[in-house]
């Protein structure tokens, strides 16, 4: 009986470890060294083209850019957006741009994003909405809750992808730290 219990405990531990490892292996969007696929036209919530479908990829050109693809607005995603907005302001001398694309068809998301833009006082980061799959050419994985691309001259310098529940303060700090890769 003791051996059986020990075996089951070991098997359970192995499943937990493998589950965590598999959960961290979500691949989404263009990878480091790849070119960003190009234009798409999400509905902009704030910024110069608020209320219109506008190409944020086009607006930023070859400048350093941080882009967040998210499936829902969580407190962690809000925190990430605020941090990236601050990093964009800090690096405005290097023409850094940033935007977030919420991939959703929920009627509530537009109101929530308008509230976030106002309450957070976003200065540079543009919030936008696209279809639930996101821009097709970008290959955003269905099981990716959040994908962050940091690119410069249209080449991805960092890709951070998080399954649901994986985005936390440590992950946000790592993303913001990696902004240095695009504003050299």
How does DSSP classify residue 43? E
pTM over 0.95? The answer is no
Q: How far, in Å, CA of 42 to CA of 112, rounded?
A: 16
Q: Is the predicted pLDDT of residue 5 greater than 80, yes or no?
A: no
What integer is the mean pLDDT of 51-80?
Answer: 98
User: pLDDT tens digit string along 90-144?
Assistant: 999 999 999 999 999 998 999 999 999 999 999 999 999 999 999 999 999 999 9
User: pLDDT tens digit string along 84-105?
Assistant: 999 999 999 999 999 999 999 9
How does DSSP classify residue 151? E
What integer is the mean pLDDT of 131-160?
Answer: 98
How does DSSP classify residue 35? B
Q: How far, in Å, CA of 67 to CA of 28, rounded?
A: 13
Question: What per-residue confidence (pLDDT) applies to 9?
Answer: 42
Question: What per-residue confidence (pLDDT) applies to 143?
Answer: 96
Give the DSSP H/E element, type plus range, for residue 175: helix 169-177
Q: Is the predicted pLDDT of residue 182 greater than 60, yes or no?
A: yes
- pLDDT, the chain, mean: 90
Establish how many alpha carbons lie within 13 A of residue 17's alpha carbon, considering only the half-sphere containing its beta carbon.
Answer: 6
125 and 85 in contact (C-beta within 8 Å)?
yes
Q: Helices 169-177 and 75-90 meet at what angle, rounded to 10?
A: 20
Q: Is the predicted pLDDT of residue 4 greater than 50, yes or no?
A: no
pLDDT-derived band at 184 (thresholds 50, 70, 90) equals: confident
pLDDT-derived band at 81 (thresholds 50, 70, 90) equals: very high
Q: What would the CATH number be for the domain defined by 28-181? A: 3.40.30.10
CA-based nearest residue to 100, from 137, 151, 64, 65 = 65
């Amino acid at each position: 009986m003791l051996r059986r219990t020990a075996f089951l405990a070991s098997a359970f531990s192995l499943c937990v470890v493998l589950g965590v490892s598999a959960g961290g292996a979500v691949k989404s969007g263009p990878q480091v060294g790849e070119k960003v696929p190009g234009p798409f036209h999400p509905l902009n919530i704030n910024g110069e083209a608020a209320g219109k479908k506008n190409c944020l990829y086009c607006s930023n050109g070859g400048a350093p850019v941080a882009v967040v693809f998210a499936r829902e607005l969580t407190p962690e995603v809000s925190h990430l957006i605020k941090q990236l907005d601050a990093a964009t302001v800090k690096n405005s001398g290097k023409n850094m741009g940033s935007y977030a694309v919420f991939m959703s068809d929920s009627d509530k998301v537009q109101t929530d994003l308008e509230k976030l833009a106002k309450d957070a006082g976003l200065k540079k980061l543009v919030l936008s909405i696209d279809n639930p799959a996101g821009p097709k050419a970008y290959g955003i994985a269905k099981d990716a809750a959040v994908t962050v691309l940091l690119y410069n001259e249209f080449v991805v310098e960092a890709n951070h992808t998080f399954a649901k529940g994986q985005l936390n303060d440590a992950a946000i700090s790592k993303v913001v730290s990696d902004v240095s890769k695009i504003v050299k």
